[in-house]
């Protein structure tokens, strides 16, 4: 029981906040207000399946804090989704929007389902039913959903259309990550990974590493992992990909794996296994490889106090949410692993989602070069804001994650005080 509680993602998010609150000297009222969501909605979703039977799904939407602006956050479809996972992700989204200094708060949604076992028709009916239930708390000035694990631009399009029928007019900006033809933004598909790559570039400068000669490994080969594989080479001018893994297994080659070719293989076969001139490697072993850059890009709690001492990467760029537990954080930092924490490393997605909202709002869209330049500027500034805070508090032996919390929590707390909430 104690082990489960330790790995509860929301308890981890609260523990991380508690440390930052103490260092910032937050008053008790502000601290307590930031420890729990401001509001959350639990919904029951009956959906008629293709076999004619009605199946009932459970869904959630959490609006964690909107002091800095409307809440923003993805919707996950996952068979092991829990309300505590959604709460944690909504909290991290609050800190994420604050660390990159965009005028939004944090939210998150989820449905307990297995989309891999559902037809397109069933997914559409489920997505529309979800919006029928949570649409009452959504809106451009309230809360704007986006895609997340196992949700796609097509699912966002169905949700946006369902919301349109509720309110009676097009409000494209209320849901982001949409297809380009329905008000989506150029650059959204690879934004999470691209933002992480920009932070890796800055971390390499800080550590004196040449990213073009760096070795890197990716644990988790979904959207973010696939784009990280190609963008590390394309944006940073080189590098050697030595290992990748997905939920089925992993592959390794000391001579390097062609990034674009392995992405094509994954898209064609649905797995990374079987790629020519590689040998199998487990997800656990991949994390412990001696590489310059490790990209944890799967799910929560893969680096714990059990394996943190074996991590040999120089940089850990957390494209996944919550891949490292608080105990592991301290071990990695003590051992000299430079952590780019999740809500900084993967903030590129919400940043370009914000850009999409802005473009939708005034009905004028930017070219791809402009999106990339503005994302680069946001991510680079956020990285150095966190690094400067890390250096400022170095005597207190803090981690980069704590430094990111100090930046974010201070900004949210200031907004709450200015509003007169605390």
| Three-state SS sequence of 267-327 | HHHCCCCCCCCCEEECHHHHHCCCCCEEEECCCCCCECCCCHHHCCCCEEECCCCCCECHH
- Residue 4, pLDDT score: 42
Q: Which fold has domain 191-345?
A: Rossmann fold (3.40.50)
Q: Residue 295 pLDDT more than 50?
A: yes
For range 153-175, the mean pLDDT: 95
Query: Sign of the CA dihedral 300, 304, 306, 311?
Result: positive
**Which CATH class name applies to 38-174?**
alpha beta
Q: Residue 336 pLDDT more than 70?
A: yes
Sketch the domain layout of the chain as residue ranges. 38-174, 191-345
Equal fold, 38-174 vs 191-345: yes
pLDDT in tens, 118-154: 999 999 999 999 999 999 999 999 999 999 889 999 9
- Residue 3, pLDDT score: 42
CB 146 within 8 A of CB 353: yes
For range 238-244, the mean pLDDT: 97
**Distance of alpha carbon 139 from the chain centroid:** 22
pLDDT in tens, 14-34: 998 999 999 999 999 999 999
In 3-state terms, the chain is what percent helix, strand and coil (to 5)? 50, 20, 30
For range 143-166, the mean pLDDT: 95
DSSP conformation letters of 207-267: HT--GGG-EEEEE--SHHHHHHHHHHHHHHT--EEEEEEETTEEEE-TT---HHHHHHHHH
Q: Which of 108, 178, 240, 378 is catalytic?
A: 108
Q: How confident is the model at residue 217 (pLDDT cuts 50, 70, 90)?
A: very high
Measured distance CA(219)–CA(282) in Å, rounded: 10
Q: Residue 199 pLDDT more than 70?
A: yes
Q: How confident is the model at residue 301 (pLDDT cuts 50, 70, 90)?
A: confident
- Residue 2, pLDDT score: 38
Q: How far is CA 216 from CA 212, 263, 338, in A?
A: 11, 15, 14
Angle between helices 191-207 and 223-236 (to 10 degrees): 50
pLDDT in tens, 31-79: 999 999 999 999 999 999 999 999 999 999 999 999 999 999 999 999 9
Q: Residue 1 pLDDT more than 70?
A: no
- Residue 21 zone, left/alpha/beta (φ > 0; ψ -120 to 50; rest): alpha
- Residue 306, pLDDT score: 93
For range 256-269, the mean pLDDT: 97
Q: Is 405 exposed, middle or buried (0-12, 13-18, 19+ CB in 10 A)?
A: buried
CB 41 within 8 A of CB 110: no
> Is residue 108 annotated as part of the catalytic site, yes or no?
yes
- Residue 421, pLDDT score: 97
If one compares 325 and 117, the residue with the highest pLDDT of the two is: 117
- Residue 397, pLDDT score: 87
Q: How confident is the model at residue 281 (pLDDT cuts 50, 70, 90)?
A: very high
The sheet carrying 249-252 orders its strands as 279-281, 249-252, 240-246, 215-219, 293-296, 315-317, 338-340
Q: What is the mean pLDDT of the chain?
A: 95
380: helix, coil or strand? helix
- Residue 322, pLDDT score: 84
Q: Per residue in 274-290, is it b (16+ CB within 10 Å) or e — as a string?
A: ebeebeebebeebbbbe
H or E, element range at 120: helix 120-134
Task: Identify the CA nearest to 411 among candidates 65, 108, 101.
Answer: 101
């Amino acid at each position: 029981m104690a082990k489960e509680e330790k790995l509860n993602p929301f308890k981890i998010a609260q523990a991380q906040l508690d440390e930052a609150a103490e260092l910032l000297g937050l008053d008790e009222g502000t601290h307590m207000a930031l420890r729990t969501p401001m509001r959350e909605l639990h919904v029951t979703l009956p959906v008629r399946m293709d076999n004619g039977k009605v199946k009932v799904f459970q869904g959630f939407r959490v609006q964690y804090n909107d002091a800095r602006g409307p809440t923003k956050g993805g919707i996950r479809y996952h068979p092991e989704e829990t309300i505590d996972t959604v709460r944690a992700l909504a909290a991290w989204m609050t800190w994420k929007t604050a660390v990159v200094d965009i005028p939004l708060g944090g939210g998150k949604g989820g449905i307990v389902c297995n989309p891999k076992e559902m037809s397109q028709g069933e997914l559409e009916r489920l997505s529309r039913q979800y919006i029928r239930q949570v649409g009452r708390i959504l809106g451009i000035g309230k809360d704007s959903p986006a895609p997340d694990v196992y949700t796609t631009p097509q699912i966002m399009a169905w949700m946006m259309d369902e919301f349109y029928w509720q309110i009676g007019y097009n409000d494209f900006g209320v849901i982001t990550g949409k297809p380009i033809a329905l008000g989506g933004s150029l650059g959204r598909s690879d934004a999470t990974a691209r933002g992480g790559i920009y932070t890796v570039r800055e971390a390499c400068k800080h550590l004196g590493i040449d990213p073009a000669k760096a070795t890197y490994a990716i644990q988790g080969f979904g959207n973010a992992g696939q784009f990280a594989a190609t963008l590390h080479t394309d944006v940073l001018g080189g590098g050697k990909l030595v290992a990748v893994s997905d939920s089925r297994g992993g592959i390794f080659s000391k001579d390097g794996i062609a990034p674009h070719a392995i992405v094509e293989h994954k898209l064609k076969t649905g797995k990374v296994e079987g790629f020519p001139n590689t040998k199998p490697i487990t997800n656990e072993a991949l994390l412990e490889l001696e590489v310059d850059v490790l990209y944890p890009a799967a799910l929560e709690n893969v680096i714990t106090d059990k394996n943190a001492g074996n991590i040999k990467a120089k940089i850990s760029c957390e494209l996944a949410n919550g891949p490292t537990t608080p105990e592991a954080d301290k071990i990695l930092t003590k051992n000299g692993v430079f952590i780019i924490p999740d809500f900084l490393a993967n903030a590129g997605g919400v940043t370009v989602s914000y850009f999409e909202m802005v473009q939708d709002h005034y009905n004028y869209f930017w070219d791809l070069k402009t999106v990339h330049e503005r994302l680069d500027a946001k991510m680079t500034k956020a990285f150095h804001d966190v690094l400067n805070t890390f250096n400022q508090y170095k005597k207190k032996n803090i981690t980069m994650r704590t430094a990111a919390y100090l930046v974010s929590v201070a900004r949210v707390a200031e907004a709450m005080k200015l509003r007169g909430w605390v």
